[in-house]
Amino acid sequence: MEYRELGKTGLRLSSISLGASSLGAVFRDIDEPEGIRTVHAAIANGINFIDVSPYYGFTKAEILLGKALKTIPRDKYFLSTKIGRYGIDGVKSWDYSAARAEQSIEESMKRLNIDYIDLLHVHDIEFSDLNQVIQETIPALLKIKKKGKVGHIGITGLPLEKHKYIIENLPAGTIDAILSFCHFCLNDDSLNDHVPFFLKNETGIINASPLSMGLLTSRGAPAWHPASEKLRKLCAKAALLCADAGYPIEQLAVSFSVSNTAITTTLVSTASSENILRNIEWSGMPLNTQLLSEVQELLKPVFRETWENS
């Protein structure tokens, strides 16, 4: 396993890491014991970073992850969770106030069976008033950081420009990391355009969803996926191209996502121990550059096409 520095945090993270959204049955029903085995398999095979949120499964992911972490020494992993985006009884909600942030951190630590959060993100900033995040949310997190409950502060979201806006409007060094999803994968590498800015500001880069939320899979995108029909069809063709080459598109996607060493880590979300082991293996294999060129040529008409978060 390769390990890379996350900005100026001093944290050395595995180049591939575990996204715990699947533990909340966000994508499909899961088997709880298998979900716990997945976390254990990840840590036992070199992954040392796990990302979760109270929003995933409306606290289910944090609860199940907390069960899995009970038997794992705290020094074996770094953990990030989030504040700002929530949900209850099937209803989504957002609250970026200072009071809710402090309450949320305490709730998350209790569910996760920990007393310290290595990295705390403001979740999906595109749903916030960015000025509230700058003037209220982040200052509140800095106070909590001084109390020793949080090690580092980050932000997440789909539109990359909003990350830049927040970083530019806070004192230098305030934001330790950003988490970007669906912007460094086979069909969209737009995160590349922003890498120099993040590096200049010593902001660590976390990449998520190398399979573009299921677009880049052999079984195809789920029905709820917000991608256009044209993007769906061309990704399906790309999957067939890879299959004909005897090389799963999932493997190509993971290999591509971990290939950029400026990106500290890529989150893979799964509740399958077999799947996490397969992804760890793929992350250590050389990138098939010939097949990559063929897939990117096929995807040219929809390259960097994106969608709105929901």
| Active site members | 56
Strand stretches in the chain, DSSP E: 3-5, 12-14, 16-19, 49-51, 78-83, 85-88, 91-94, 117-122, 150-157, 177-181, 204-208, 265-269
Three-state secondary-structure class, residue 200 = helix
The residue type at 84: G
- Provide the CB-side half-sphere exposure for 131 (13 A, CA): 0
Question: How big is the CA angle at 77 (ends 76 and 83), to the nearest 5 degrees?
Answer: 155
The residue type at 64: L
Between CA 21 and CA 262 the distance in angstroms is 24
The residue type at 143: K
Please, where are the H alpha helices in 20-151?
Answer: 32-44, 60-69, 98-112, 130-132, 138-146
Between CA 39 and CA 103 the distance in angstroms is 26
